[in-house]
Copies of this chain bind each other. A is one copy, B any other.
Amino acid sequence: MEITPPPCLNKPLKFPNKLLMGPGPSNCSPRVLHALSLPILGHMHTETFQIMDEIKEGIKYIFQTKNELTLAISAAGHGGMEAVLCNLVEPGDKVLVAVNGLWGMRAIRMAENYGAVVSQIATSLGNNYSLGQLETAILSEKPDLLFVVQGESSTGVYQPLESLGKICHKYNCLLAVDTVASLGAVPFFMDKWEVDAVYTGSQKVLSAPPGITPISFSKRAQTKIFQRKSRPSVYYFDMNVVGEQWGCVGTVRTYHHTVSSSLLCGLREALAIICEEGIENSMKRHKECTMRLHDGLKRLGLEFFVGDPEARLPTVTSIKIPEGVDWKKITTTAMNTYNLEIGGGLGPTAGLIGRVGIMGYNAQPENIDFLLSVLQKLLKDKCKL
């Protein structure tokens, strides 16, 4: 063999257990980590189909939907965005994106890739949209699809969605929503709010491992997908065939790809945990932790990047970097000294803000208090520019 085994793989795999209070992923509970270590199952085994069915029911609960085309795709959250757009966009379709940070920008790029004519509404970073603004944009752009991010983790902005679906449907437009960083911590009612496509992150409030992404399509969206003139251009994300493997459509489970039983088990347990707690309790817990965090940040003299308290995302709090503070040094020291992750900005907010995440398993008062105490220490004297 010309290429020999690399010595770096000769060392044992070892790293510390960190407390992940950045914008995600969050820590998995011991129960979820244990589920990840269960023996491998084949993708067509009876037990696997049962776990998939249970996951579907769990996802219907967290999205509050009865949609039959509800499943988890074998990809990161970003794959969810890809799956929504590649299935709902046909070349020439008009897509309107309400941008308020990085994710909207990504959606524009993806929609363009699928041949959409894309227009966007833009707002200054740190703000969300009123329903009136969105309706005006729909009226002027006449899109086939409106793409909105409920929780923009890159800015820490929360976008209210109630009544938006009705408005979209009045103008014959579908509504797609990214809830990657918000679901489970803020209200979301897919059916009642008439949302047509949604996906969320496994590794945020659900505290499941990354790599598997809950997704759901309304009857309206399903009709659009099944009546496309052209096939969705990505076979891997094609809901016509993925939906068959998941038993959502048709009567026979047809092999599409090898679903990872490890990730299925992890997600199944994470969904079981949120079902046991109940979404209302999960939201309450996140709200209380967020208030505790916000009170603490104010005591430290820190300011919020999002001015309007109603527009602040409870899962990701964005903080203006105070003058004279080296935030990079704060995040690095927190990580190296305390095994604590605190986030910086991302995309358009890089260098502008710090970000603290409160998600799922980590949303506990003692974690907030620990984070605040570390932040206080580091701000005091150590992390000046």
Contacts and interface: CB of A to CB of B under 8 A. Distances in A.
Interface majority SS on A: helix, strand, loop or mixed?
loop
How many copies of this chain does the complex contain?
2
A272 B12 CA distance: 9
Interface string A186-219: 0001011000000001010000011110000000
B38 A260 contact: no
Contacts of A174: none
Interface in A228-272: 231-236, 255-263, 265-266, 268-269, 271-272
A162 interface: no
Contacts of A280: 1
Given A201-B258, A233-B233, A236-B79, A64 B3 contact: yes
Nearest to A26: B40
A68 interface: no
Contacts of A6: 54, 57-58, 60-61, 275
Given A235-B82, A257-B77, A346-B255, A43 B210 contact: yes
A236 B36 contact: no
A53 B2 CA distance: 20
Interface of A: 1-6, 8-10, 13, 15-18, 20, 22, 24-28, 33-43, 45, 47, 51, 53-54, 57-58, 60-61, 64-66, 74-79, 82, 86, 106, 109-110, 113-114, 189, 191-192, 201, 203, 209-212, 231-236, 255-263, 265-266, 268-269, 271-272, 275-276, 278-280, 335, 341, 346
